[in-house]
Amino acid sequence: MDSYIIIGFTAFLGTIFAGGAILLARLLSFRSPESVRKRQAYECSETPIGDARIRFKVAYYIFALLFLLFDIESLFLFPCMKIFRAVATGAVGAVTINLLYLELSCFIFILFTGLLYAWRKGVLVWE
């Protein structure tokens, strides 16, 4: 029962601190008649034209996600190759070279399959 009291007291203190910080920031903030202008989007000191919430093609997001995916996955290849070199030279004796070669082949096969799938779907075609 004592642990529930400690958890409840900690949650209460967290709520008080978070709410107090938000309330204090609200009370001490400076409000001016130009606050509407300050909430506008800033684009290199140019007056914004139109709404900032326009629609973008989903292909842009998918292209960016694919770039991130393959970029991160290619970064994973560097430590894998370092381990592969250590096993190949005999520095690590617990793993056989054939098992490691099979695992790296599966990893590269999955990457290549994903790239081939995106290519077939036409995601990599920029219009």
For residue range 31-89, list pLDDT tens digits in order: 766 666 666 666 676 776 777 677 877 878 888 888 888 888 888 888 888 877 887 77
Q: Which pLDDT belongs to residue 10? A: 95
- Residue 105, domain member (yes or no): yes
- Evaluated on CA atoms 115, 121, 123, 127, the torsion sign reads positive
Q: How many CA atoms lie within 13 A of 36 on its CB side?
A: 1
Residue 41 lies in a domain: no
- Asked, for residue 90, whether it belongs to a domain, the answer is yes
Q: Is the pLDDT of residue 91 over 70?
A: no
Does residue 108 register a pLDDT over 90?
no
Residue range(s) defining the domain that contains residue 62: 58-121
- Is there a domain that residue 99 lies in? yes
pLDDT tens per residue, range 8-24? 999 999 999 999 999 99
Please report whether residue 26 resides in a domain.
no
Instruction: Tell me how many domains the chain contains.
Output: 1
Q: Which of 62, 73, 67, 55 is nearest to 123 (CA)?
A: 62
Instruction: Round to whole Å and give the CA distance between 120 and 125.
Output: 10
Q: Scanning the structure block, which residue is given the tokens 């219009």?
A: 127
Tell which wins on pLDDT, 76 or 91: 76
19 in any annotated domain: no
Residue 114 CB partners (closer than 8 Å, separation 6+): 69, 70
